[in-house]
Each structure stands twice: as structure tokens, then as C-alpha cells.
Structure 1
Amino acid sequence: MTERTERPLLFLDVDGTLLPLGGARIPSSPQGWVDWQGTSNPQLAKIDAGHVPRLLALPCELIWATAWMEYANEVLSPLLGLPRFPVAELPDPPQEYEPDALNWKTRALVRAAAGRPFIWVDDEITDLDHAWVSAHHGGHALLHRVDSTSGLTRADFGVVDDWLLERSRDRRRG
């Protein structure tokens, strides 16, 4: 499959990625999610507002890839001064994290990328996800796992920047 010349996609998770967990537990009940995905979530104070200009400067199309779904646009975008971003169509998240299973987002994100180069930044990416994407995605992909206790760091942005720079060089050569 030949890659298109469109800008790469960046699928961005929220919990553990943009929103560092630092030991916090994600709720398991539907009512807990209502509170977690609202402006009253005390964890929101941990988001580094310095990420906003870095995210907006990336030469890619940012897409929310999170269980927050549209709440990312309703809560996080206004809080951080971000524009509304598209939201990846994801299946319902599992009730419990399964460390030895394919991530619940993997298939949906490869489908959404439709052959375009993409970056997926998440705190639950495993070797199984890497192998599945390599076998099922016809284009370049960077699956970058973030430490959930600290969330995105300068080093994480460096990895993303380097990958995007290489894709830019590929497009100019091709």
C-alpha cells in the first residue's frame, strides 16, 4: 500500500498520557466516569499546560483516542485552550485492564488511519499492539508508550518530533 501525502495522524490518549495518573485510580463504575470526565476531577490540575503549544505545533492531525470520547472536547479543550479535535470511533473500553491482551483501541485506530502514517501516544501500548499494527497497517506507525505516573514529558515529545521529521523527509523524497 502506498502512503498518502496527507499529514500524519496523532491519536492522543488522555488518562495516563495527557492527564498523569500519579497513583490515581481510574473509576470502574459508570457514575465514577461521570465525575472523572467532568471539570470537578481533581486530577485535571496535573495537566501540564506547557504541552498545549507543543501539541499545536506538531505537523500532524491530532485526534482524541480516549475513553473520554467527546468529553475530551467538552472538558479538556476549553480547559487548555485547545480547539476541538476529531474523536476516534472506539469500542467500549473493557471493564478491567488486561495486560496480556491486544489493547481495546488498536484495531479501531488502524482502521481509522486507513493506511495513513500515524502516531499513537498512550500509556497502555504493549508489544502485542506493536506486532498487530505491523501486521495489519500498510503505512508507517509510531506506537509510543508513556509512563502513566508522569504522563507526557519533554522526552516523549522528542520521540514524536523525531518521527514526524523522518516522515516529512520521506514525503519530500517520495
Structure 2
Amino acid sequence: MTDQRPILFLDVDGPLNPWRAAPHRRPDGYTTLRARPTGWERPRRALRVWLNPDHGPLLLDLGFRLVWATTWKAEANTWIAPVLGLPELPAVDWPQMHHLDPEGVHWKTRHLVATAAGRPFAWVDDEIGPTDRDWTARHHKGHALLHRVDPAKGLLPDDFTLLRNWASTQAES
């Protein structure tokens, strides 16, 4: 039997790592991780990543099938998942990253809609905009929730409530 829960496409930087928070002020409840993901060209030194270990159990309790939708790709299972207490999760394998889209949608949007293949999904990211919502509404046959998170704050209690409530409406459909 296949997993019938809606998909939650989960970005790391922004939702889980509030990378835009003041650099000298780690948010309450967060721990600092120094990471060197292999797929990244930039970091000569380790990246500073702030993660809140409480987010793992909250994510697992939302009622979604969790899928990494991040430039970290499957390396999120190596660096991020253990800190959050998450099991190994599937990761979107991007055919191309950081490209400009002819219709102005985020570079992830088209591929996430294709990956969902008509299934209900939510996408949590700090770079979602109105163009992505409009494009998804026109091209995705199922229900979709595109939820932008402030990259200076990361996921907050209201975000978890919104996601949990949305997932429960999909189970009733």
C-alpha cells in the first residue's frame, strides 16, 4: 500500500535554519551546527546552521509524507535530519538548480509540481512568491499549499498549526 498522506516539500535554509536572523543572536531553542555539504561550491569554511531539535517531532506529527526540497538534496539526511531526530527522508533530485524561469516562477516550482504528480502537497520555503502560487494553481490538478516562511525567524508555532490543519483537511477529502 502506498503512503496516501499529502507531501510536505521541506526546504532547509529559511524554514529550518533561520539564516537571516541576526548573526550574533542564535534564536532561543536552536543549536549551532557547522556543516560542509559536498555539493556546495561556496563554503571554504564550514557553514553556520541553526536548527531547533524540537522541530523534528513537530514535523513528524503533522500528517505529511516529508520530502526534502532543498539545495542540500540528500545530504540533508546526513547533516540536518540527525539534529532534528528525523529518519532518512526522500529528497528531490533537482535536474537544474538556481536557474531563471521564463515565466518568473522559482526554480523549484515546476519540478515540485511535476514530482507531486497531482497529489496534494504543501511546500515550505522562504523564497515562495505570488507567481509560484498562481503558476501552481494553473498547473497542479491536486490541492497545494505554498507557504512562505520568514528566513529571519524560521518555522514558528503558527506555521506548524497551519500545516497540521491543512494536512487534516486533505485526509478528509
TM category, shorter: 0.7 to 0.9
Contact residue 11 and residue 64 of structure 1 kept, 8 A: yes
Contact residue 89 and residue 108 of structure 1 kept, 8 A: no
Counterpart for residue 109 of structure 2: 106
Q: 1:139 is matched by which residue type in structure 2?
A: G
Contact residue 7 and residue 116 of structure 2 kept, 8 A: yes
* Structure 1 residue 153 displacement after superposition: 0.6
Question: What secondary structure sits across from 2:52 in the alignment?
Answer: coil
In 2: Cα distance, 1:110 partner to 1:6 partner: 17
Structure 1 residues 1-174: aligned runs within 5 Å: 6-21=4-19, 22-23=21-22, 30-33=40-43, 35=45, 40-43=46-49, 46-94=50-98, 101-170=104-173
- TM-score if structure 1 supplies the norm length? 0.80
Task: Let me know the Cα RMSD of the aligned residues.
Answer: 2.4
Question: What secondary structure sits across from 1:10 in the alignment?
Answer: strand
In 1: Cα distance, 2:44 partner to 2:121 partner: 30
1:91-149 CA-partner distances (Å, limit 9, x unpaired): 33227x99x92101000000000000000000000000001100100000000000010
Contact residue 68 and residue 90 of structure 2 kept, 8 A: yes
| More helix by percentage | 1
Contact residue 73 and residue 84 of structure 1 kept, 8 A: yes
Q: Given the superposition, is the C-alpha separation of residues 13 and 149 from structure 1 closer, same or farther in structure 2, using an over 3 Å criterion?
A: same
Q: Which runs of 5+ in 1 are unaligned?
A: 25-29
| More strand by percentage | 2
Q: 2:63 is matched by which residue type in structure 1?
A: P
Q: Which runs of 5+ in 2 are unaligned?
A: 24-39
Paired residues, what number?
A: 155
In 2: Cα distance, 1:94 partner to 1:23 partner: 25
Q: 1:126 is matched by which residue type in structure 2?
A: G
Question: What secondary structure sits across from 2:169 in the alignment?
Answer: helix
* Structure 1 residue 78 displacement after superposition: 2.0
Question: What secondary structure sits across from 1:78 in the alignment?
Answer: helix
In 1: Cα distance, 2:82 partner to 2:115 partner: 25
In 1: Cα distance, 2:54 partner to 2:149 partner: 17
Q: 2:17 is matched by which residue type in structure 1?
A: L
Question: What secondary structure sits across from 1:32 in the alignment?
Answer: coil
* Structure 1 residue 83 displacement after superposition: 0.6
Counterpart for residue 26 of structure 2: none
